[in-house]
Chains A and B, each alone.
Chain A
Amino acid sequence: MSLITKKRAQARLAYMLVLPAVLLIFGIYVLPIITVFGISFTDYSLVSNYFEFIGLGNYRQMLTDEAFGNALRNTLIYAGLFLPSSFFISLFLAIAIQERKQFRSILEVLYFLPVTSTLAAMALVWAALMDSNQGVINLWAGAIGLGPFNWLGSETMVLLSMALISLWSVIGFNMVLFLAGLTAIPANLYEAAAIDGADHPVDKFFRVTWPMLGPTSMFVAVTSSITAFKLFDTVAILTQGGPNRSSEVFLYLTFLEGFEYFNMGYSAALSLVFLGIIFLFALVQALFVDRNVQY
């Protein structure tokens, strides 16, 4: 067999081998995105066979839709509560655990356990704990003279409660990421720092740990942001957007529009905006993590 035909045969084999994966990705991701993209320009509704092309109508509707503004605001408030705390608490825990010699692996497992649980099921447990009348949390808070708090029933508290539940479920994961980042910092950098006089914990943190954790921090921040915007299951199970739509977040609104009000066209447009936001975060990560934070 000549070299060229052999090369061609090899190329053909290669294409055949990637074909199943390409088809799957196309069928599961690309095709639905294109479909949703198409639907978002129509007034397609689940309850009617008739639909027509309305151009940018759905997107124009968002600008004036009070529910859209409400959902966006709720999502941002929730993200504002969830993001910094999920980042800094897990960083703090990771540093605290890493410096321990005993119990390190036990603590790691304990903090990681919530990640392995099913959030939908755990949400119900949290609902019981946070119950305003019989909940254990209010009982304890009362014991030290606080509360009672209306965790899930108050418009001002419900987003905080959602953030707390998400924190509980995600901290272990972020902590493990940070631990991996910390372990990757060469020990002799700390030794060099000690000789250079940077042996105070504050100096060690700002001169060595924090800068060396750059790529990990970026990754944690971006994945946490995406998690924050994806808030759905706890809302759907515990509050259904209430009370008075104060926990109606972006993804939940999309779900409501599509499957409660049957406005598929509008829902598709919301989905695309959501996709755009996630894409933005992914882009930030791709640009900064892969280039700027490299040494």
Chain B
Amino acid sequence: MARLTLKNIGKSFGETEVLTDISLDVEDGEFLSLVGQSGCGKSTLLRIIAGLEAPSRGEILLDGQAVTELAPKQRNIAMVFQDYALYPHMSVAENMAMPLLMSRLPMHARLPLVRHVAPAARHAKPGIVAQVETVAKQLRIDHLLARRPGQLSGGQRQRVALGRALVRNPGLFLMDEPLSNLDAKLRVEVRREISELHASSGLTFVYVTHDQTEAMTMSDRVALMQGGEVLQVAAPNTLYGAPVSVDVARFIGAPQINILPVQSRPDGLYLGDTFLHMKIACEVSDLQIGVRPEALSVRGGSGLAPQPLHSGAIILPFQKYMIEDLGPEILIHGCFEAEPEIEIRIRAQKSTDYGHARQLAASKRLSVAIDPTQLMVFNAQGLRLELPALMTRNMSEVAL
């Protein structure tokens, strides 16, 4: 059980600034994910929390106690590495016993040869063996205890790494992309197991990943990082539905959100020269609007589930490039006909008679309906504005 607080953490390697002024609070028992593209500093931040790397600035508190200067072993943390970092020359049991040996035995009882005869080692052994077995049972690897890591599958190694971390009863559990070396099917399985582990152990988890699905499905809160800064810390739903900036909106959600640069003129919004029949109460003239692919609906192609047209939607013609069939739904990639040529992605549900989709495949020109209630408005700098978009006319007048 631990509450983690990061205060203005900064890290520079020489001239290069990797982390700038990061402050975070992780509640006791919370599952927080650090998400971002590679090179955003998320792994460095995790290593700083672990104590493997010293921050250039700032403070780390665990349960209110400053641990910035402490060695990793003094921090009551455990860490699972991306490639597990199991000791290849030790059996699974020895791997898992390692943290216990180190904390329970005095130095002389850990030396080679001496450790076989030292009384301290003999006294501590039954307790260590029992604890390793308990954790191994819990993770269902108790039948593998005598094997070496080299004889295990990826998923089993993953569990051993979890076991080695769990056995020491840490307050804070750190994970560095632990699923990235597993195949897709196993990943889903282990994802669920880690979630269950979090629920049953009640430990505080800090989880680094570049995979937004992992972050969204497992976390209580997600911290989205970019260029060494935390852009937003929020629950997965908030991150998706109410991103603070264009960068957040772009990162979260696959396929990517559609971002349209628009101009706010006295009479309403313009996309290039196309009047959008919408108005935003805003002084600023240059804006960006974001629409999630599922908030767009296609007109003029059969094979798609009929969507009731919102009373105030605007319809724009576009050129279709490509369709991707995902099974239950399809992705349509295209580009607006009018200037500027903006690429758009539409996510549409298939209808039951998708057989007619040939027509959809054949038709180059389609129209897309944008529902103004689903728009997000950003300023030119990319910050989201809490402004509703209003239709300037009603639907019947707008439909082209």
Contacts and interface: CB of A to CB of B under 8 A. Distances in A.
A159 B35 CA distance: 65
B88 A295 contact: yes
A250 B304 CA distance: 90
Interface string B96-119: 001100110001001110000000
Interface string B186-213: 0000000000000000000000000000
Interface of A: 186, 188-189, 191-200, 202-203, 206-208, 211-212, 214, 295
B85 interface: yes
A207 B98 CA distance: 9
A212 B102 CA distance: 19
A200 B107 CA distance: 9
Contact of A196 (B52, B88, B89, B164): B164
Nearest to A189: B85
B356 interface: no
B300 to A, nearest CB: 55
A196 B73 contact: yes
B330 to A, nearest CB: 42
Contacts of B71: 194, 199
Given A206-B111, A212-B88, A196 B98 contact: yes
Given A186-B85, A295-B89, A194 B112 contact: no
A188 to B, nearest CB: 4
Contacts of B85: 186, 188-189, 191-192
17 contacts: A186-B83, A189-B85, A192-B81, A192-B87, A192-B164, A194-B51, A194-B52, A195-B50, A195-B72, A196-B73, A196-B102, A197-B102, A198-B98, A202-B111, A211-B89, A295-B149, A295-B150
B88 A195 contact: no
A207 B52 CA distance: 18
Most A CB contacts (10 A, CB to CB) among B102, B111, B149 go to: B102
B102 A198 contact: yes
A206 B112 contact: yes
A212 B78 contact: no
Contacts of A212: 88-89
A288 to B, nearest CB: 14
A206 B78 CA distance: 22
B79 interface: yes
B250 interface: no
Nearest to A192: B85
A202 B112 CA distance: 10
B315 interface: no
A195 B52 contact: yes
Given A188-B83, A202-B107, A202-B111, A195 B89 contact: no
Nearest to A186: B85
Contact of B73 (A186, A194, A202): A194
Contacts of A295: 88-89, 148-150
Most A CB contacts (10 A, CB to CB) among B71, B87, B107 go to: B87
Contacts of A193: 87, 98
B225 interface: no
Nearest to A206: B112
